[in-house]
Amino acid sequence: MDEPPVLELRGITKRFPGIVANDGVSFDLRPGEVHALLGENGAGKSTLMNVLYGLYTPEEGEIRIKGTPTRMSSPRDAIDAGIGMVHQHFMLIPVMTVAENIVLANEPTRERVLLDYDAAAQRVRDLSDAFKFRIDPNARVEDITVGQQQRVEILKALYRNADILILDEPTAVLTPQEAQELFEILGTLTREGMSIIFISHKLNEVTEIADRITVLRRGKKIETLPAAGATEESLARLMVGREVLLRVEKGASTPTEPLLQIQDLHVTDDRGIEKVRGLSLDVRGGEIVGIAGVDGNGQTELIDAIAGLMGSDSGRVLVAGEDVTNESAKDCLDTGLGHIPEDRQRRGLVLDFSLAENLALHDYDSQPASRLGWLFPKRLVARAQGLLKQFDVRGGGPQTHAGGLSGGNQQKVVLAREIDRNPKVLIAAQPTRGLDVGAIEFVHRRLVEERDEGRAILLVSLELDEILSLSDRILVIYEGQIVGEFAPGVSEEELGVAMTGGGRKEAA
Amino acid sequence: MTETPPEGGGKVENPRQGGDYAPSVAARVAVWHKAGGIAVPLLTTILAFFIGGLVVLATTGKNPLTTYKAIFEGSGLNWFLEVGSYEIGIPWTESRVWFPWDTSFNSFAALNLQQTLIVYVSLVLTGLAVAFAFRCGMFNIGGQGQYLAGAIMAVWIGSELPGLPGFLHILVAIVAGALSGAIFAGIAGFLKATVGAHEVISTIMLNYVALWVGVFLFGLGGPLQNDNEGGESVPVSNDVLEESKLNVFWGDPLLQGLHVGFFVALAALVVYWITLNRTTLGYEVRAVGFNPEAARYGGISVARNYVLAMAISGTFAGLAGTLDILGWQFRLNTNDIFINSIGFVGIAVALLGRNTAIGVALSALLFAALLVGTSTRNLDPEIFRPELASNLTTLIQGLVVLFVGADVLILYLFGIRRRARQRQARTQA
């Protein structure tokens, strides 16, 4: 009954110094199926695909394409074997047109040297029509949406005659609507006989789109199972290796007085574009207010203005009743603000500093960390020891460089630092971005605990799941304004409409 | 300066299997940091000397080892090999020491070593000037200008104010010299902090300002040209007054013995380390240097630290100029101003020393030994063509700077296979 697989990986082992990234992993792909590769960060998904795509050479194991053993020593070999890869970060040249990007490195030519642009555009149009991509070959890549750029990447693979497509975390950059459109396209592709490997750590979309699911954990294949019948809970257990709480357990909130008040705030970014346009909101103690919105609608500028990292043009920001509008970052922090920044590597941590030094980033200049400008490294280390234990940071001690930790543990360090200062208001910007299930569970639980301590928590996230499961109230931001307020029971679709400006009237 | 994962780590036996690998990765990175801190500069130096040796072979046909031996002896470092029993030469004592301390015993090694250590003083300080700015994320190319600012101020104060007691005179001159270096570098820091002018450009420009101000001041008809008899045609400053000269503690003052500024340089190394590692100022400077965005988020004023770090850098360089004037040079002529390049050698010192106190202390010794060891008067023309001598120093300096900027190249040359693994690890990350 089984058709022969188009692709087979047999016993792939790939070692890096100190790590076995893939340990005897076997994997097969049947024609016309979507096979999801599921696993936490660091489980070996990307390594396995890079082996397949010719970027790494495995120490052991064999790759068979349509039954024939094939050596992949460079991406060129993989492309010749009919494998196309869409990376999480697109490999497109923004200033060139769609057609130019697609034919790059395989240009149709006239007289052997001149680019035949019309032929290129025509071929792209044909492909796009055949699969209902609705892409204009003459549009410049920088002018089209992220969802369309992703389709350009898929077209690029199709143009190179790929019949095996690897998608690396394809929905990470998409809105729920765009993700649905992508799933439809994938359906069309598989009906045409394409086989798709779908890499993800999101359980709900894997059960929705895949035919079969292979779960990796710590470099080993745990199981390959049909998607039909798999539940999110069972997959999470396979992925993490223990029982996981997918739903955040939280009681009803008991809001107190407003601790963070923003009144008619206007913020202009460095390029002179007004990103926050008359935004007002209140966050009361003991509640989590979630801000949902498509990336780039003023979330970053709003947070920076609250935290004193960016000036505002007008309006007021009050923390615990005190006006901190346009005060320095230091003053905002001292008034009782905690800030888990959006990008922990670029802003939240000094990666070359030790954990002890990182934990002192806000209070290195006050007692007991220092006195009269004299720093006491031993006290930093002593405090760090307690905090690292309390927040279950693994992978290093106080003297370890922050850059040596995994993402989840780095985020725990940030969390430890911000919460240990006992802030009245806690801003959590994308607090679980790039974290695995176990770490997400930890961060979510901790945020709920802090809410119950009576802190006001402003949660800004691009993950709707997170907003929906954590928030006591949900605000939708669109073009620098709050365009709607919803209760946590709202559906993703309803939020999605508001996020693209659709529900503006009724919300106002 | 994040090192990519474990280069030496590839050799470790029995890598842990599976999931519990995070601690070992972190540990490996730490080991790599430590090993890389010593190994890479060492390899860099060896490679630079090797290529320098090839040049010697190609241009003179002489055995490079003989040449390097001559340079070693010229630097006076062979003094440490002359272990024995010597009279210390201080009146009313009969104590004896291990090394030939008293230079009247015809120890050329001792004489040469004194010269090396005099250069060492200025190289430590100009090296620290570059290193401190580096730790705050800035490349201070203006060590030369800051050095001159200090030297000009020192020669002016040192030759004026007669009647001031010696100790006080020296103190005033040193403070003023260091301060002028600080202000001079602070300008570049201020420009970066306020209008974002890149410090590389502004410090290079300031080098010219210092140079031409010096030429104007001491040149013909300049306001600080000497008032010696018949000195109108000589573009030189007045001599520093006797009482403001630094005490010579080793060797003959008339033969340019080693002055007490040596201890100032050693103290500067300690101050550098303490400031960076034991003060909140150093914490801020390092935070800004590693990641200005995170520092800003943490509530640190990045602008203030740019100005301060440059000013502190300038203090070190200004001090170097001051000590050279008060310790052995005693005057500045316009030719010195043109020829001097000690501030630039400071860049090589900091780079090779990886901006650490101990690294600067060691690499300054290497460059001081090279500079003195190759200076022609120490070399036998039979072994070594004088024309090549100082060029060889410059050559080795250049190679060191080149290689330091290219850790990867060094690793490439010393282990192509290991490099491949490293790249894989990097792409994986």
Burial of A129 (0-12, 13-18, 19+ CB in 10 A): exposed
Is A371 an 8 Å CB contact of chain B? no
**A164-168/A195-200 β-pairing:** parallel
Q: What is the nearest CA distance from B193 to chain A, expressed in angstroms?
A: 16
Beta carbons of A405 and B22 less than 8 Å apart: yes
Indicate the burial class of B301 (C-beta count within 10 angstroms; 0-12, 13-18, 19 or more).
middle
Distance from C-alpha of A344 to C-alpha of A502, rounded to nearest angstrom? 32
All residues of chain A having their beta carbon less than 8 Å from the beta carbon of residue B418 are none
Question: According to the model, what pLDDT value does residue B12 have?
Answer: 33
Q: Residue B429: is its pLDDT beyond 80?
A: no
Q: How confident is the model at residue B427 (pLDDT cuts 50, 70, 90)?
A: low
Residue A365 has pLDDT above 80, yes or no: yes
Residues of A in contact with B17 (CB under 8 A): 20, 23
Distance between A364 CA and the closest CA of chain B, angstroms: 7
Q: In this complex, do B287 and A15 lie within 8 Å of one another by their Cβ atoms? A: no
User: Residue B23: pLDDT above 50?
Assistant: no
- CB contacts, 8 Å: B429 with chain A: none
Determine the average pLDDT of the residues in A54-61. 89
Q: Which is more confident, A501 or B129?
A: B129
Q: What is the pLDDT of residue B235?
A: 92
pLDDT of residue A1: 43
If one compares A89 and A507, the residue with the highest pLDDT of the two is: A89
What is the mean predicted confidence (pLDDT) over A146-168?
A: 90
Looking at residue A381, what is its pLDDT?
A: 95
| Cα distance between the two ends of chain B | 16
Given an 8 Å threshold on Cβ–Cβ distance, is A329 in contact with B294?
no
Ranking A315-319, B40-44, B323-327 by mean pLDDT, the lowest is B40-44
Whole-number Å distance between alpha carbons of A203 and A38: 8
* Inter-chain touch A20–B18, beta carbons under 8 Å: yes
Confidence class of residue A2 from pLDDT cuts 50, 70 and 90? Answer: low
Q: How would you classify residue B371: left for phi > 0, otherwise alpha for psi between -120 and 50, otherwise beta?
A: alpha
- Which residues on A lie below 8 Å from B299 (Cβ)? 328-330, 333, 361-362
Percentage of residues in chain A having pLDDT higher than 70: 97
- Please count the CA atoms within 13 angstroms of the CA of A417 that sit on its side-chain side: 28
At B87-134, the pLDDT tens digits run 666 666 666 666 666 655 557 788 889 999 999 999 999 999 999 999
- Which of the residue ranges A128-132, A262-266, A473-477 would you say has the lowest mean pLDDT? A128-132
Q: Pick from A329, A374, A403: which is nearest to B296 by CB?
A: A329
**A220 interaction partners in chain B (CB closer than 8 Å):** 18
**Paired strand residues for A15:** A20
Q: Which of B24, B30, B296 faces A18 most closely, judged by CB atoms?
A: B24
Confidence of residue B24 (pLDDT cuts 50, 70, 90): very low
Nearest CA-CA distance, residue A307 and chain B, Å:
8
Judged by a CB distance cut-off of 8 A, whether residue A30 touches chain B is no
Single-letter amino acid, residue A122: Q
Nearest to B6 among A17, A21, A352 (CB): A17
Structure tokens at B242: 């006797």
Structure confidence at residue B413 (pLDDT): 57
Provide, as residue numbers in chain A, all residues whose Cβ is less than 8 Å from the Cβ of B417.
Answer: none
A414 in B contact zone (CB under 8 Å):
no
Percent of chain B with pLDDT strictly greater than 70: 76
Q: Using alpha carbons, select from A89, A82, A77, A80 the residue that is nearest to residue A153.
A: A89
The pLDDT value recorded for residue A477 is 94
Out of A16, A46, A396, the one facing B26 most closely (by C-beta) is: A396
Size of interface A-B (CB pairs under 8 A): 143
Judge: B2–A352 Cβ closer than 8 Å, yes or no: yes
Q: Cβ contact (<8 Å) for B28 and A18?
A: yes
Of B22, B277, B297, the CB nearest to A341: B297
A364: contact with B, CB 8 A cutoff: yes
Judge whether B203 and B142 are in contact, CB under 8 Å: yes
User: Who's near A182: CB < 8 A, 6+ residues apart?
Assistant: A147, A150, A151, A170, A171, A174
Query: How much of chain A exceeds pLDDT 90, in percent?
Result: 52
The per-residue pLDDT of chain B, averaged, comes to 82
Q: Which of A326-330, B256-260, B376-380 has the lowest mean pLDDT?
A: B376-380
Mean pLDDT of chain A: 89
pLDDT in tens, A397-423: 899 889 878 788 899 999 999 999 999
pLDDT the model gives residue B157: 95
Contact A47 B19 (CB under 8 A): no
User: Of A307, A370, A400, which has the smallest distance from its Cβ to B26's Cβ?
Assistant: A400
Q: What was the pLDDT predicted at B163?
A: 83
Backbone angles phi, psi at A37, to 5 degrees: -110, 110
* Residue A359 pLDDT exceeds 70: yes
CB of A352 within 8 Å of a chain B CB? The answer is yes
**Exposure string (b/e) for B357-374, b if CB count within 10 Å is 16 or more?**
bebbbbbbbbbbbbbbbb
Residue of A430, A435, A463 whose CA lies nearest to A174: A463
Distance, in Å, from the CA atom of B279 to the CA atom of B167, rounded to the nearest integer, reads: 30
pLDDT tens digit sequence for A169-202:
888 777 777 888 899 999 999 998 899 999 987 8
CB contact under 8 A, B278 and A349: no
From the list B29, B301, B424, the residue facing A16 with the nearest CB is: B424
Inspect the interface and report whether the beta carbons of A307 and B2 lie closer than 8 Å: no
The answer, for A407 touching chain B at a CB cutoff of 8 Å, is no
Q: What pairs with residue A460 in β-bridges? A: A291, A429
**Predicted local distance difference test score (pLDDT) of residue B185:** 97
A380-392 mean pLDDT: 94
- Domain coordinates in residue numbering, chain B: 121-365
Q: Do B26 and A219 touch (CB under 8 A)?
A: no
Question: With the C-alpha atoms ordered A37, A42, A48, A53, is the resulting torsion angle positive or negative?
Answer: positive
> CATH 3.40.50.300 region(s) of chain A?
7-240, 258-507
Q: pTM to 2 decimals?
A: 0.78
pLDDT at B132: 97
The minimal CB distance from A17 to the residues B28, B299, B427 is found for: B28
Asked whether the beta carbons of B294 and A346 are under 8 A apart, the reply is: yes
Using the Cβ of A254 and the Cβ atoms of chain B, whether some distance falls under 8 Å is answered with: no
ipTM score here? 0.79
C-alpha radius of gyration, chain B, whole number: 24
Instruction: Assess A150–B contact: CB distance below 8 Å, yes or no.
Output: no
- For A367, list phi and psi in degrees, rounded to 5: -65, 145
In this prediction, residue B46 carries a pLDDT of 85
Taking Cα atoms as reference points, which of B295, B300, B139 lies closest to residue B204?
B139
Identify the residue among A352, A354, A394 best suited for mutation to test binding to B, counting B beta carbons within 10 A and taking the highest.
Answer: A352
Contact A352 B1 (CB under 8 A): yes
* Cross-chain Cβ contact B297/A348 below 8 Å: yes
- Identify the band that residue A147 occupies on the pLDDT scale cut at 50, 70 and 90: confident
pLDDT (average), residues A445-459: 95
- Is residue B417 over pLDDT 70? no
Residue whose C-alpha is closest to residue A282's, from A266, A299, A253, A261:
A261
The answer to which of A35-44, A313-322, A481-490, B327-336 has the lowest mean pLDDT is A35-44
Give me the helix-helix angle, B302-324 and B166-195, nearest 10°.
Answer: 150
Q: Which residue has the higher pLDDT, B81 or A306?
A: A306
Residue B11 in this model has a pLDDT that exceeds 50: no
Q: In this predicted model, which residue has the larger pLDDT, A458 or A17?
A: A458
A166 torsion bin: left (phi>0), alpha (psi -120 to 50), beta (else)? beta
* Partner-chain contact A377 B277, CB within 8 Å: yes
Average confidence (pLDDT) over A285-314: 93
Of residues A119 and A213, more confidently modeled: A213
| Average pLDDT rounded to a whole number, residues B259-281 | 96
pLDDT of residue B136: 94
Average pLDDT over every residue of B163-186: 94
In this structure, which long-range contacts are made by residues B2-5, counting pairs with CB atoms below 8 Å and at least 24 apart in sequence?
Answer: B2/A351, B2/A352, B2/A403, B3/B29, B3/B32, B3/B33, B3/B36, B4/B422, B4/B425, B4/B426, B4/B429, B5/A17, B5/B29, B5/B32, B5/B422, B5/B425, B5/B426, B5/B429
pLDDT of B424 above 80: no
CATH topology of domain A7-240: Rossmann fold (3.40.50)
pLDDT tens figures, A242-260: 777 667 788 888 899 999 9
A19 pLDDT more than 80: no
* Binary contact (A374, B280; C-beta < 8 A): yes
Give pLDDT, residue A444: 94
Is B294's CB within 8 Å of A361's CB? yes
How many angstroms separate the first and last alpha carbons of chain A? 58
A69 interface with B at CB cutoff 8 Å: no
> What is the 3 state secondary structure string of chain B?
CCCCCCCHHHHCCCCCCCCCCHHHHHHHHHHHHHHHHHHHHHHHHHHHHHHHHHHHHHHHCCCHHHHHHHHHHHCCHHHHHCCCCEECCCCCCCCEECCCCCHHHCCHHHHHHHHHHHHHHHHHHHHHHHHHHHHCCCCCCCHHHHHHHHHHHHHHHHHCCCCCCHHHHHHHHHHHHHHHHHHHHHHHHHHHHHHCCCHHHHHHHHHHHHHHHHHHHHCCCCCCCCCCCCCCCCCECCCCCHHHCCCEEECCHHHCCEECHHHHHHHHHHHHHHHHHHEHHHHHHHHHHHCHHHHHHCCCCHHHHHHHHHHHHHHHHHHHHHHHHHHHHCCCEHHHHHHCCHHHHHHHHHHHCCCCHHHHHHHHHHHHHHHHHHCHHHCCCCCCCHHHHHHHHHHHHHHHHHHHCCHHHHHHHHCHHHHHHHHHHHHHC
A421 contact B CB<8A: no
Residue with more model confidence, B99 or A396: A396
Residue of B nearest to A398 (CA): B26
- Domain spanning A258-507: CATH 1.20.1530.20: no
Query: Residue A199 belongs to what H/E stretch?
Result: strand A195-200
Q: Which of A17, A47, A329 is opposite residue B5, by nearest beta carbon?
A: A17
The rounded radius of gyration (Å) of the Cα atoms in chain A is 25
Burial annotation B199-218 (CB, 10 A radius, 16+ → b, else e): beebbebbbeebbebbbebb
Give the per-residue pLDDT at B65. Answer: 86
Test A341 with B29 for CB contact under 8 angstroms: no
Whole-number Cα distances in Å, B279 to A79, B285, B319: 56, 10, 22
Peptide bond into A368 cis (omega under 30): yes
Rounded to 5 degrees, φ, ψ at B119 are: -65, -35
Give yes or no for residue A34 having a pLDDT over 80. yes
Closest chain B residue to A354, measured at CA: B30
Chain A residues within an 8 Å CB radius of B415? none
